Amino acid sequence: MSIFTGAGVAIVTPMNSDGSVNFEKLGELIDFQIENETDCIVICGTTGEASTLTHEEHLECIKFAVERTNKRVPVVAGTGSNCTETAVYLSTEAEKYGADGLLVVTPYYNKATQNGLVKHFTTIANAVNIPIILYNVPGRTGCNILPATVVKIAKEAKNVVAIKEATGNMSQVAELASLVKKNDLEFDIYSGNDEQIVPIMSLGGKGVISVLSNVAPKQTHDIVASYLAGDVKKSLDMQLEAIELINSLFMEVNPIPVKAALNIMGYEVGSLRAPLSEMEPQNQEKLKEAMKAYGLI
């Protein structure tokens, strides 16, 4: 029941000069991604500044992405919230708009217990019929879904079919992969960190939900595609070649650097919503150097 295999882009949300969403530019970015072999559009995630979009903007972005993509690749909509009721609302609306799947982050700030996480995710899953990808990023949320909890959720809610693993903890990913196999589950693991695509693929991962794809969609796609084709050396070489750029894209909190990078490339994606601020000038120079070394500019 995989939603996609390969590299899905955690796409940015472009802004106009007045701070409103630039839908014309978003359409251009979606086309650019698909033309360069991105395997899935992930709209309204962390990189898309979902936390500072109004509910109306959030849903409008999802609707727009579904319509613009027009079934060329799957669209996964970020619909998570620290409020279960809100997550259910966003998820049911995204399903109505035709999203192919949902990306649902762990509740942030509340710091739910493991039992609370089971209830949260099963409640959302039971409200929709489309597949759900759990999003585990404790560095942002303060909340970690443990492997045994993931398996429990997947058993109780059959449309919870995957996880975006962004703990950075390869031992935890290995434990999860082991439990998935032991329980004979059809459950996919995607890397949530661009520097860990190959390590997670080596544990049976299906690909990545990527920030890097915003600026290097073809290369990110090829890292996964090469691995799946059996050319592990090529995949590893491409992964290592991208490390300097990946590090530069995270030298300040995401999506500050990736929006700066897209602007440097001439895509004019605009600024960021407060409390995010523009990239520090000295860091922008380092980012430019990494982009030049990678051949983006």
Q: Which residues are catalytic?
A: 135, 164
Burial class (CB in 10 A: 0-12, 13-18, 19+), 52: middle
In Å, how far from its chain's centre is CA 187?
A: 17
φ, ψ at 67 (rounded to 5°): -70, -45
* Helix axes of 256-264 and 281-294: crossing angle, nearest 10 degrees: 60
DSSP helix/strand/coil, 202: helix
In angstroms, the CA 137 to CA 16 distance is 29
Position 83, amino acid: C
Distance of alpha carbon 236 from alpha carbon 87, whole angstroms: 37
DSSP 214-268: GT-HHHHHHHHHHHHTT-HHHHHHHHHHTHHHHHHTTSSSTTHHHHHHHHHTT--
Cα separation, 274 vs 281, whole angstroms:
18
